[in-house]
Amino acid sequence: MIQLQTRFAAAEPGKMILKLCKHFRHKVPTVFDATRGEVDFQPGRCVLSAEVDAVHVYIEGADNKEIGRMQYVLDDHVRRFLRASTLVLHWSEAQADTTAPRA
């Protein structure tokens, strides 16, 4: 399993999570509230968590193809929704899945 993470600044992280999740739920299973979102990109998974002034993004997938597809979708949508065409998300290896699914 490949696990990556990134974070990006957002004036209102909770609103950004809601906006992304409401958009994604039209195509894939999504569970969210104002501070956390889980997106089942089938076959990969994404967890969005609100921080004080940023959104933390965790993704996991079985191979580089799945991960690459999720990175592309997230990079594109975050840039569009923030209206920041030059924004670059810097992905790094996640140490462990600290974003266990909701009970």
Question: Based on the structure, what is the number of domains in the chain?
Answer: 1
CA distances for 93 relative to 26, 68, 80, 90, angstroms: 29, 13, 24, 10
Distance CA 77, CA 61 (A): 19
Distance CA 63, CA 37 (A): 22
**Is 103 contained in some domain?**
no
- Asked whether residue 102 carries a pLDDT value surpassing 50, the answer given is no
**Is 99 contained in some domain?**
no
Q: What is the pLDDT of residue 98?
A: 54
Give the residue numbers spanning the domain of 26.
Answer: 2-93
**Is 38 contained in some domain?**
yes
**Is 100 contained in some domain?**
no
**Is 102 contained in some domain?**
no
CATH number at residue 29: 3.30.310.50
**Is 43 contained in some domain?**
yes
**Is 12 contained in some domain?**
yes
Predicted confidence (pLDDT) per residue in 46-79, tens digit: 999 999 999 999 999 999 999 999 999 999 999 9
CB atoms inside a 10 Å sphere around CB 102: 9
